[in-house]
Amino acid sequence: MLFAKFSIFLTLFSLFALLQEPALAIKKSYVVYLGGHSHGPDVTTADLHRVTDSHYQLLASFVGSEEKAKEAIFYSYKRHINGFAAILEEEEAAEIAKHPDVISVFLNQGKKLHTTHSWDFLMLERNGVIHPSSIWNKARFGEDTIIANLDTGVWPESESFSDKGYGPIPSKWKGICHFDDNASSRFHCNRKLIGARYFNKGFAAYAGVKLNSTFNTPRDTDGHGTHTLSTAAGNFVPGASVFGVGNGTAKGGSPRARVASYKVCWPPANGTECFDSDILKAFDMAIHDGVDVLSVSLGGDPVDYFYDGLAIGAFHAVQNGVVVIASAGNSGPVPGSVSNVAPWLITVGASTLDREFQANVKLQNGAILEGTSLSRALPSDNFYPLISAADAKAPNASAEEAILCKQGTLDSKKVKGKILVCLRGDNARVDKGEQALLAGAAGMILCNDKASGNEIIADPHVLPSTHINYTDGVVVFSFVSNTNDPRGLITTPKAVLNKKPAPFMASFSSRGPNTVNPEILKPDITAPGVNIIAAYSEAVSATQEEFDTRKTPFNTESGTSMSCPHVSGVVGLLKTLHPNWSPSAIRSAIMTTARTRDNTVNPMQDADHEKATPFAYGSGHIRPNRAMDPGLVYDLSKNDYLDFLCGLGYNQTTLGQFTGSSYKCPEKYNLLNFNNPSITVPNISKSVTVTRKLKNVGTPGTYACRVRQPPGFSVTVEPNVMSFEKIGEEKIFKVIIEGRKVTSGYKFGELIWSDGKHYVRSPVLVSHHST
């Protein structure tokens, strides 16, 4: 869905993983299944030992020695089942699976129901168990960090904001709880939800009307703000689900952090909007109140920084030590659609999880097509007649409009009692379901158009429904068109884990390049943003449509609005763990430790199965456990940002006013030398030299640099070895980029500094300037 000016978004291995030290590779537990045994009834101890030895020998051929195999294997199945369970790297498991004696290799995964599964997917826990080395344990679950959002407000009664087990509110907090005093909705903040404010004067000024008292509250009547705030820092809530699907324990990224809400978004007739003046006021108060992290899941078309209330507010927040995270936008996959491009923001794209709420399509010819849904089940398991919405068009409607299942385009006489097949398009997915229901359909199959590709979204439709991808949609439409009496059914929704490939980029996630400053790669990072379960407002229905009367304390949402608070939750943990790190150091730690491969150990894909690029995912998919110990960071001071703005052409007088202090622009400044964790050279003719500076935040060590060259370019680093003897030590290096056999368009490479323990990775993007 495209967004208007500041409308709400309805919204890990690197490419050199195989070169990393084995001890640093992420390991998981797997089962290697070899079949059954034929011991007979007189099995002896010696027989059992021989089986165990055979397992050691098999694994040793992959891990290098029998000693390592013995360390890895923690179960040997030797009586009836033949196989073993072991701790392996993903690459090792993939290679073992190719062995002729091996039937299968699969993750050792718990059989329990989940809800906010994204934290499991990001390895903060595994199957509900939190490892001692997890950043959750190390950072005490974000304890006493204060995370706030600028959004549609908060539903304070949600269990995600329960303060059970919390101590006193941190003494640094200066905020207030500005809820209305109506008896029917009176609520006071607690030790978890420590503050709430609303700002609506900018909205009222734009609307040109005097707002009534119902607007004077930070209460969330939309659901978006509650969802994003609880994703960032919601408390542990057992037994959460969406209409019984995805049952498990909900929690935010920093579940023990304190939270505050700043309501800046309001619902005019043409959709929720958030105005610059309200946003700026909220930033101003949030800085005063003492927040540590601001999550901002809203944005508008990219403009000059000084004409962007969000960019201005965020600059001041960052200069006061507040980390600001913003959503990239939901206008993808169009190139250059990314918003929130200021270099002091952490800008977040959206990608998928390895979980689906599976509701499959079964066709009478035996075909089974995977879909996703949170709607109720069909009343029977019998096959239902299928009809294409184009064939069910009303007399005065066009087939092009009817196939999208738009209002007034369907003939109920043709639809009644059948499963209606609709095409995804420019009207809301849940509205298609409503039109199908009004026409008398028994159910709906929603098929992706080509642009949406492989991205399917679980919605709580008002009738039994499922959403399938483009390829499977072609199959369904073909079956309906070429079959006499076509029939099918939709299976009951259920949560299914370990889907592959995951993550892949959501088609809606806005893409680079950065149209304001192409020298700054945006987005910075990607995080889970599809089918995310979190707390919800019970003042609104599950689908936010007037026809839907269902209320739910938890709901599923998709968008960069949902990926943004995932990063905010991780930032909360880093703030607890490293309270002295600057916002730019935290941004760098998240970016340089990200991953660009999926759970098949292949490069991340877009929704259309093509290889994704940094314009989609930035530095890659977030890895929280790696981010807590990045080794080196690309740090930035206030003057670094001001030098950057000088390079854009702002004069020092203006910048002095901007910061409220005197400042002198450098005599010369090259935007390419801004100390960003990524390197982007948009127009190189022959050669260019880029400068960067690294700060040691880890143990002393010697770092060597290696480069994956962008095709057609030569990249040289000087020096290519640097030694750091203490924390806080900084060193400068140069990157010389030369064009060789260059073709048009951006080319992608990467630069990695490593001491054998840390891997500090930066994407390198270069395009050729035609002469």
Q: Active-site residues: which are they?
A: 151, 224, 561
> Residue 754 corresponds to which tokens in the numbers above?
């490593």
Question: Element (H or E) spanning 276, and its range?
Answer: helix 276-289
Q: How far apart are the first and last CA of the chain?
A: 39
On whether the CB atoms of residues 341 and 516 are closer than 8 A, the answer is: yes
> Residue 346 corresponds to which tokens in the numbers above?
């952490």
Three-state DSSP class for residue 481 = helix
> Residue 286 corresponds to which tokens in the numbers above?
């949030």
On whether the CB atoms of residues 432 and 463 are closer than 8 A, the answer is: no
DSSP 520: S
Long-range pairs for 364-370: beta carbons < 8 A, 24 or more residues apart:
364/483, 364/486, 364/487, 364/488, 365/479, 365/483, 367/475, 367/479, 369/468, 369/472, 369/475, 369/476, 370/468, 370/472
d(CA 344, CA 211): 35
d(CA 326, CA 627): 18
On whether the CB atoms of residues 5 and 271 are closer than 8 A, the answer is: no
d(CA 349, CA 230): 19
> Residue 209 corresponds to which tokens in the numbers above?
């009307």
H helical segments located in 324-445? 399-402, 412-415, 429-438
d(CA 252, CA 255): 5
On whether the CB atoms of residues 1 and 10 are closer than 8 A, the answer is: yes
> Residue 248 corresponds to which tokens in the numbers above?
């498990």
On whether the CB atoms of residues 681 and 663 are closer than 8 A, the answer is: no
Three-state DSSP class for residue 52 = helix
Residues in Cβ contact with 290 at an 8 Å cutoff, skipping those fewer than 6 apart = 146, 170, 172, 173, 174, 175
d(CA 86, CA 83): 10
d(CA 502, CA 543): 26
d(CA 762, CA 521): 11
> Residue 61 corresponds to which tokens in the numbers above?
């051929």
d(CA 332, CA 105): 36
Give residue 318's region: left, alpha or beta (phi > 0; psi -120 to 50): alpha
Count of Cβ atoms closer than 10 Å to residue 763 Cβ: 28
Three-state DSSP class for residue 758 = coil
> Residue 210 corresponds to which tokens in the numbers above?
């005097």
Closest by alpha carbon to 286, among 323, 318, 325, 317?
317
Count of Cβ atoms closer than 10 Å to residue 374 Cβ: 27
Quick one: CA torsion of 396, 397, 399, 402, rounded to 10 degrees?
A: -140
On whether the CB atoms of residues 455 and 508 are closer than 8 A, the answer is: yes
d(CA 673, CA 647): 10
